[in-house]
Structure 1
């Protein structure tokens, strides 16, 4: 990877700046997908690999203490099989340094902000899925939230969504997104910085495409155009970069995050990963050891059931979308009616179809794999005789069946599918 990534010391001025502003969000975002597909790890472990019995116990033991959501009720744990019906799950990434490597800064260097907030939706019939990102600087109303130490926090009419973790923990973030979208969200997970390093290493690296050179003096990321296989700290730094991508904003960093997650999904679903017991086990351990789960999700069996629902979904039916926003003083706000239309489609369990671009942070990969053309239709043998009594009526051909596109979203909703190959629109120091 040549000169692409230059780690900085924990005492570096630039790294401290990154830590203060919580720019590690993308690492958490990567684990988000890890979370929903890496559950497939658990599926494989409990379904018959030779390491199954010991590995399943070890993975289950690595799950961190769970968080109780306000809307949760204790019910029966699903059996090993696809979860019954659809799934709404919120995945958040905290910028807290507590328990993290010293390279991320002192434990008291930041608060506890959810700089990644993503909603996973799996359709009732398990035919499609979507992962919807909420920008960290989006102003939203926050409802009254339970205080983990007792009592409750008052409701607020307009605060940035990334403050919800501070006000009332994971349960407050879930309540806020439920109020914002009108959806019920019974599952939630909070992930940690170290997750992306473990995840990307577990699958043997994640390939990413760079269209124009990336230069970011804050994270030490320097990547030439072309494809790069990133894992561990290198992957984390790639996900941290903001100044070196697109227009340098958090919104274009989300575009880059979606590129990484799409590639991660393709890697996880590839035969090279799922047929390798060592990778599968490492993937499961990486996921469960680096997140806090809601009570409802704190079970390898539950993770496996969700994974089974996901494992056969076509890559083109896994949609990554960023909610439509416009600028406002100090942040962004939802664009209406596009925002409400998006979540009405999710609530109605409709497949999502993107009509907008991938966003300013990424561009289409000119070297993306090309699908094989369909086999030509059989031709009539020219030697065959025709019936002279037959009338000259043109043959009626039946139009090929096409799948309904579902709900076509506003062009203000940017994103891509897991089947789309994209490249990072890099930015050099001269443009910053």
Structure 2
């Protein structure tokens, strides 16, 4: 979802002034070349909204290399150096008619097939019938994360971004902090987090500790951390979307600069025109039509500390994504979240009507949607797919609170 925030900010950056825009553009890091399932790189978009569906993967690495500060110690560097693990992975899917978006969080502890991946120094890293998802970044770089996510979601993902700890700190600093609701006190010595109940404005290292916290949230699992991250990103997007941020040239510049300085983009979206195109694609999607979901999983029968794809719910989600169909959540939040006092569930998109009979599940094999400039945009889909209660999540418009354990 950070990719969405980056695009919105860069597109709005015209009001920052010529110097600010030039300085921000110069901060864009060299692009990462992805080896996709189709073995080719799509053309860069024009400076207008993209045509057709858009799929972008965001991976958060836990590497300590080059992070400095609280992570610059021998224990941290020994534990996770180099590329690191993709401890956070999200896939943003924007519908072909640009009316709704879905953000799928893939659990780090998910055991699933991993395909053959390009080696970091050439050649091929053999795949695995069953591997832990968060090993894919260190196994074969960002391309390996994308290829594995394509198998899980049924989407073709031509664009991706990689963010480190410093990126989360910089983004929260740039917007002056993100206000989140804490239902019960949170204490997590592993992440260095102590928060009292109530509304807390998180900034800098405290914001990072919040999105990293696992032991202090919900049931202490990575699934609880996912719902916490969904809550934080929803709050961040609402703040970016608020009049106070969008009308402040200095804040816009700081946010744009923080984003592009701390994120490595794939070479398909590393040009300024690509970011503007992405922003124009996203600008008309309302907060209530941005849906965060956790990829459906169940406990691994061979290891209670791992999860496997839910054999009934996962195909339904894959079918909805591949058919570009709006999603209707059951109303169940993740294990680390509760509804904010007095809040109401966000309504489904006005153009959708839940269907009592979802279409049959599609096979989980990627099929590249048309996202090339000038491609025809399909007519809006009229029928939404209601997801089973095992698929948890929230919309960006929903007010939710984090539940400590």
TM-score under structure 1 normalisation? Answer: 0.80
Counterpart in the other structure of 1:416: 394
Residue in 2 aligned with 1:135? 107
Q: Which residue of 2 aligns with 1:59?
A: 24
Q: Residue 338 of structure 1 corresponds to which residue in structure 2? A: 313
Are the aligned partners of 1:49 and 1:277 in contact in 2 as well (CA < 8 Å)? yes
1:91 correspondence with 2:58:
yes
Give the counterpart of 1:300 among 272, 275, 280. 272
CA distance in 1, matches of 2:132, 2:345: 42
Question: Matches of 2:16 and 2:67 in 1, distance apart?
Answer: 33
Structure-2 change in CA distance of 1:50 and 1:163 (3 Å): closer
> 1:167-186: CA deviations, max 9, x gaps?
11001111111122221100
Which stretch has the larger CA shift, 172-181 or 73-82? 73-82
Q: How does 1:56-135 map to 2 (within 5 A)?
A: 56-71=21-36, 73=40, 76-104=43-71, 105-106=73-74, 107-111=77-81, 112-135=84-107
Aligned length: 363
CA shift, 1:368, in A, is 3.8
Superposition RMSD in Å: 1.8
State the Cα distance separating 1:110 from its structure 2 match: 1.1
Q: Tell me the distance in 2 between the aligned counterparts of 1:191 and 1:220.
A: 21
Could you state the TM-score of these two structures normalised by the residue count of structure 2? 0.86
Q: Which residue of 2 aligns with 1:49?
A: 15
* Cα contact 1:34–1:199 (8 A) shared by 2: no
CA distance in 2 between counterparts of 1:131 and 1:182 reads 14
Question: Which is worse superposed, 138-147 or 67-76?
Answer: 67-76
Identify if the C-alpha distance between structure 1 residues 402 and 103 changes in structure 2 by more than 3 Å, giving closer, same or farther.
closer
Deviations 1:49-108 (A, max 9, x none): 151x22222222112222111136455432322112210111101111111023124444
Cα-to-partner distance string for 1:372-422 (whole Å, 9 max, x where unaligned): xxxxxxxxxxxxxxxxxxxxxxxxxxxxx8642411111111100001000
Listed as ranges, the gaps of 5+ residues in structure 2 are: 355-383
Matched residues in 2 for 1:345 and 1:250: separation? 25
The answer for the alignment partner of 1:223 in structure 2 is 195
Q: 2:4 aligns with which of 36, 50, 60?
A: 36
Shift of 1:238: 1.6
Correspondence list, 1:152-231, <5 A: 152-231=124-203
Q: Is the 8 A contact 1:356 1:412 kept in 2?
A: no
Report matched runs for 1:267-282 at 5 Å: 267-282=239-254
1:404 to 344, 353, 359: 353
SS in 1 for 2:15: coil
Q: Which runs of 5+ in 1 are unaligned?
A: 1-32, 372-400, 428-432
Larger radius of gyration: 1
Q: Distance between the aligned counterparts of 1:235 and 1:294, measured in 2?
A: 26
User: How far, CA to CA, are the matches of 1:166 and 1:119 in structure 2?
Assistant: 19
**Alpha-carbon shift at residue 311 of structure 1 (Å):** 1.6
Paired residue for 1:353, among 311, 324, 328? Answer: 328
Q: Partners in 1 of 2:351 and 2:52 — Cα distance?
A: 25
Deviations 1:188-247, CA, capped at 9 Å, x for gaps: 111111111111111121110011111222233222211011111121122222222111
Classify the secondary structure of the residue corresponding to 1:183: coil
